[in-house]
């Protein structure tokens, strides 16, 4: 298959995102990872913009091997000299020149005629060509340019020595059919196009950057300008991971391949996200947190039986260990049981059914049920097998900065009667315990109360452990719930139920 050359501009166009400013060492670390990823060219910055950017580009050129290094220059001698001085020590130094080609840019930015801009571009390429064999010329805003003038420009800069001609849809204006037609025209009507690599650079203002890039490939483009996570001006650029994986998933359709090591995609995405502080949206293709996550019970069941039912990409191929089954109230028995098996927890059918109902109760109160939640539900300590002498029917607590905490608790007793009591306390848990003492008819002294988070997040489950000392002896109880008050109530009832079970055992022994 033909090769697609991958030009990564994360460190130049990607860094132009507001708030994404990178330090020199951060740019170097990302550049090294891009080389590991297998990109063909790294656009390391815009040297003429600042001394700091010049130094960062120069450091990358000196230290990152096995990949082409380039940087951006306007079509003026000073910019071109700055790029060359910054990249000249690279293993494969390249110069990238950009100049507008649409009438909007010519009149709005430059106040010059088409002929003047064309002459300016040709002169810039000729000058750069004296410095390095690899010169790229970008026809800025080609997506809105007059097609005849665009093809004339491409022919002229190739004659001047450009080895790469880049066609940018700078404002994300084109749709795939339109942009494909532009590339097809250049590929078939520029007589010297075989002397240069045809490249594209698409923006995502209308959400079509990836589609436009793929349309360009279908019509003859063989170099693509992309960024990690789709970073870039305004709505961003074409995302490297999206195009690369589209080509990998559908090789028979596109008939081309890249040399990207796709298993490094997730690692690279995380590094760029961390360094720039621009977090990836959860539903982002390929690298979003939900890209390989399944919460629907129907989907989970399908993936567990055959991954291909709902996944066209093996997550391991992009560096993600496995698909993620998100356990929610919509998850079915199959998914929950499969996750329990993965956690190495043997469970029989009867116990699972009991636990599954507890899972549903918890899932109704939490956005997501984590592994730690499942382990807590499965724990014999949190869910003892002894008979429940006292069962919680309902509870209500009232707290506030200007009132004493009060609790109203209803319990079901061993004879199946329900009793309700109210009490005040130093806090909502203390008030609930006082109310339960009235119902149970025993007074206990709380020796120990400890609570810890079972899982992460604001909706995490709390595990409460208590020790009571009463006339009936020492009682230990544990409870787990995302409601910390309810977790404390469960622990208190667990302690009394353990005591009741112990009393029944003693009675049977002497009977």
Residue 237 annotated as lining a ligand binding site: yes
Is 91's pLDDT higher than 80?
Answer: yes
Residue 197: which residues within 8 A CB-CB, separation 6 or more? 5, 163, 164, 165, 222, 223
pLDDT tens-digit readout, 254-298 = 999 999 999 999 999 989 988 888 888 878 889 886 766 655 555
pLDDT > 70 in the chain, percent: 87
pTM above 0.75, yes or no: no
CATH number reported for the structural domain that contains residue 492 in this entry: 3.30.160.270
Q: Where are the alpha helices (DSSP H) in 347-419?
A: 349-365, 371-378
What does the pLDDT read at residue 383?
A: 44
Of residues 95 and 305, more confidence is placed in: 95
User: How many Cβ atoms sit within 10 Å of the Cβ of residue 394?
Assistant: 10
Query: Does residue 284 form part of some domain?
Result: no
Q: Where are the alpha helices (DSSP H) in 283-346?
A: 297-305, 333-342
Domain final residue, candidates 355, 378, 401 = 378
What does the pLDDT read at residue 324?
A: 57
Residues 204 and 325 in one domain: no
Per mean pLDDT, which range of 11-20, 104-113, 152-161, 419-428 is the poorest? 11-20
Straight-line distance from the first to the last Cα atom of the chain, in angstroms, rounded to the nearest whole number? 86
Query: Does residue 285 form part of some domain?
Result: no
Nearest-angstrom CA–CA distance, 133 and 197: 13
Give the residue from 188, 200, 214, 212 showing the smallest Cα distance to 164.
200
Question: Which residue segment(s) compose the domain that 161 sits in?
Answer: 2-276
Residues 175 and 226 in one domain: yes
Query: Does residue 288 form part of some domain?
Result: no
What does each C-alpha distance from 157 to 262, 472, 499 come to in angstroms?
34, 95, 90
Query: Does residue 287 form part of some domain?
Result: no
Residues 121 and 259 in one domain: yes
Is 300's pLDDT higher than 60?
Answer: no
Domain final residue, candidates 230, 251, 276 = 276
Residue 201 annotated as lining a ligand binding site: yes
Residues 448 and 427 in one domain: yes
Three-state secondary structure call for residue 396: strand
What does the pLDDT read at residue 375?
A: 67
| Average pLDDT over every residue of 192-217 | 98
Query: Does residue 104 form part of some domain?
Result: yes
What does each C-alpha distance from 17 to 227, 235, 282 come to in angstroms?
12, 9, 19
CATH number reported for the structural domain that contains residue 41 in this entry: 3.20.20.70
What does the pLDDT read at residue 360?
A: 84
Residues 271 and 300 in one domain: no
What does the pLDDT read at residue 382?
A: 43
Residues 349 and 250 in one domain: no
Residues 106 and 184 in one domain: yes
What does the pLDDT read at residue 419?
A: 95
Between CA 105 and CA 104, with CA 101 as vertex, the angle to 5 degrees is: 25
* Count of structural domains, the chain: 3
Domain final residue, candidates 320, 343, 378 = 378
Query: Does residue 122 form part of some domain?
Result: yes
What does each C-alpha distance from 169 to 81, 104, 201, 465 come to in angstroms?
27, 13, 6, 62
Residues 44 and 95 in one domain: yes
Query: Does residue 442 form part of some domain?
Result: yes
| Average pLDDT over every residue of 178-207 | 98
Between CA 501 and CA 509, with CA 503 as vertex, the angle to 5 degrees is: 105
What does the pLDDT read at residue 385?
A: 47
Residues 314 and 371 in one domain: yes
pLDDT tens-digit readout, 433-453 = 999 999 998 877 888 888 877
Residue 97: which residues within 8 A CB-CB, separation 6 or more? 73, 74, 75, 80, 121, 124, 125, 128, 135, 136, 137, 138
Residues 60 and 31 in one domain: yes
Residues 451 and 359 in one domain: no
Is 95's pLDDT higher than 90?
Answer: yes
| Average pLDDT over every residue of 300-319 | 67
Residue 89: which residues within 8 A CB-CB, separation 6 or more? 58, 61, 62
Residue 294 annotated as lining a ligand binding site: no
Is 381's pLDDT higher than 50?
Answer: no
Is 56's pLDDT higher than 90?
Answer: yes
Question: For residue 353, what pLDDT band results from cuts at 50, 70 and 90?
Answer: confident
pLDDT tens-digit readout, 113-167 = 999 999 999 999 999 999 999 999 999 999 999 999 999 999 999 999 999 999 9
What does the pLDDT read at residue 139?
A: 98
pLDDT > 90 in the chain, percent: 60
Query: Does residue 180 form part of some domain?
Result: yes
Question: For residue 299, what pLDDT band results from cuts at 50, 70 and 90?
Answer: low
Nearest-angstrom CA–CA distance, 488 and 464: 6
Residues 20 and 126 in one domain: yes
């Amino acid at each position: 298959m033909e090769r697609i050359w991958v030009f990564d501009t994360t460190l130049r166009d990607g860094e132009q995102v507001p708030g994404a400013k990178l330090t020199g060492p951060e740019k170097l670390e990302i550049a090294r990872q891009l080389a590991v990823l297998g990109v063909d060219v790294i656009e390391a910055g815009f040297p003429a913009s600042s001394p700091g950017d010049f130094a960062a580009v120069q450091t990358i050129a000196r230290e990152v091997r096995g990949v082409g290094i380039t940087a951006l220059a306007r079509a003026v001698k000073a910019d071109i000299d700055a790029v060359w001085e910054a990249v000249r020590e690279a293993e494969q130094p390249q110069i990238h020149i950009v100049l507008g080609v649409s009438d909007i840019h010519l009149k709005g930015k430059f106040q010059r005629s088409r002929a003047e801009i064309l002459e300016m571009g040709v002169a810039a390429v000729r000058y750069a060509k004296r410095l390095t064999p690899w010169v790229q010329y970008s026809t800025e805003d080609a997506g809105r340019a007059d097609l005849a003038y665009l093809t004339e420009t491409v022919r002229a800069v190739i004659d001047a020595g450009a080895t790469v001609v880049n066609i940018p849809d700078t404002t994300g204006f084109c749709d795939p059919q339109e942009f494909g037609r532009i590339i097809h025209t250049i590929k078939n009507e520029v007589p010297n196009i075989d002397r240069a690599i045809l490249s594209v650079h698409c923006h995502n203002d209308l959400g079509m950057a990836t589609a436009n890039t793929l349309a360009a490939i279908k019509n003859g483009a063989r170099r693509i300008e992309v960024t990690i996570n789709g970073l870039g001006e305004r709505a961003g650029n074409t995302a490297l991971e999206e195009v690369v994986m589209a080509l990998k998933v559908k090789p028979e359709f596109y008939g081309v391949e890249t040399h990207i090591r796709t298993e490094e995609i997730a690692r690279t995405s995380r590094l760029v996200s961390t360094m720039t502080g621009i977090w990836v949206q959860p539903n982002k293709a390929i690298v979003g947190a939900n890209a390989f996550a399944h919460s629907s019970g129907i989907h989970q069941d399908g993936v567990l039986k055959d991954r291909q039912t709902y996944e066209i990409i093996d997550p391991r191929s992009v560096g993600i260990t496995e698909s993620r089954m998100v356990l929610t109230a919509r998850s079915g028995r199959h998914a929950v049981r499969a996750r329990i098996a993965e956690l190495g927890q043997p469970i029989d059918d009867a116990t699972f059914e009991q636990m599954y109902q507890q899972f549903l109760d918890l899932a109704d109160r939490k956005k997501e049920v984590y592994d730690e939640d499942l382990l807590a539900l499965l724990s014999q300590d949190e869910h003892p097998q002894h008979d429940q002498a006292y069962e919680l029917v309902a509870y209500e607590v009232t707290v506030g900065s200007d009132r004493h905490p009060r609790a109203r608790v209803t319990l079901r007793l061993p004879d199946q009667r329900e009793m309700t009591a109210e009490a005040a306390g130093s806090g909502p848990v203390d008030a609930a315990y006082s109310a339960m003492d009235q119902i149970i008819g025993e007074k206990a002294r709380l020796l120990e109360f400890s609570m810890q988070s079972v899982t992460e997040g604001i909706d995490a489950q709390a595990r409460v452990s208590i020790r009571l000392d009463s006339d009936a002896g020492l009682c230990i109880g544990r409870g787990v719930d995302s409601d910390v008050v309810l977790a404390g109530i469960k622990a208190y009832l667990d302690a009394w139920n353990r005591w009741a079970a112990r009393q029944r055992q003693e009675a049977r022994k002497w009977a």
